[in-house]
Structure 1
Amino acid sequence: MKSSLPLIIGMLIVTYIPRFCPFWILSQKTISPSMRKFLFAIPYTALGVLIVRGVAESSSEMVIPTLAGIGTAAIFSWFGRGLIFSVLAAIFITYVTLCLS
């Protein structure tokens, strides 16, 4: 355990620095409205990529639950409910659809 502690602390520092630097750099500058809009769209873009990948990998048995999850995520994202809420709602609807079918 004692020999693992320096390794764990080193990995903590190495992974924390790239996460902290953008916040530190951007906190000292003003961001243009177009850049702010671009940064705001990144989580929804990531959600879209994950959904498309999930659709491509889904089996033929789960067509209806997959479409229900996609539709739910799209509707909640479109109405601006937030990324986490959209994902949780899609997971819930997919689960319910799987249980009912």
Structure 2
Amino acid sequence: MHNNYIYILVMFGVSFLIRVLPLTLIRKEIKNVTVRSFLYYVPYVTLAVMTFPAIMHATAEPLAGLAALVIGIVVAWFGGGLFPTAIICSLTVFVLEHFI
């Protein structure tokens, strides 16, 4: 009833078009400031959209994940590197899950 090869072919086609169309349709440098700004932030937004649900669902207590997220943002805001921020967030989840 369902043909997996058709699904794979459609996924291939969509993925291919997403990558090839911009290369073939846009030949000149993009000079519009709004479009350039939008394209600059797309990777960060994509990463945030994928990461946020994982933060909330990776812990046994969603409140611990939310607290780690807030503390991680504060630590990063004040110049904490990736490794110290990850350690502090992990310790936050560890401590909160044992006391909640």
TM class by smaller structure:
0.3 to 0.5
Q: Give the TM-score, by structure 1 length.
A: 0.46
The one of the two structures with greater contact order (alpha-carbon pairs below 8 A, sep at least 6) is 1
Q: Give the TM-score, by structure 2 length.
A: 0.47
Larger Rg: 2
Say which structure is richer in helix. 1
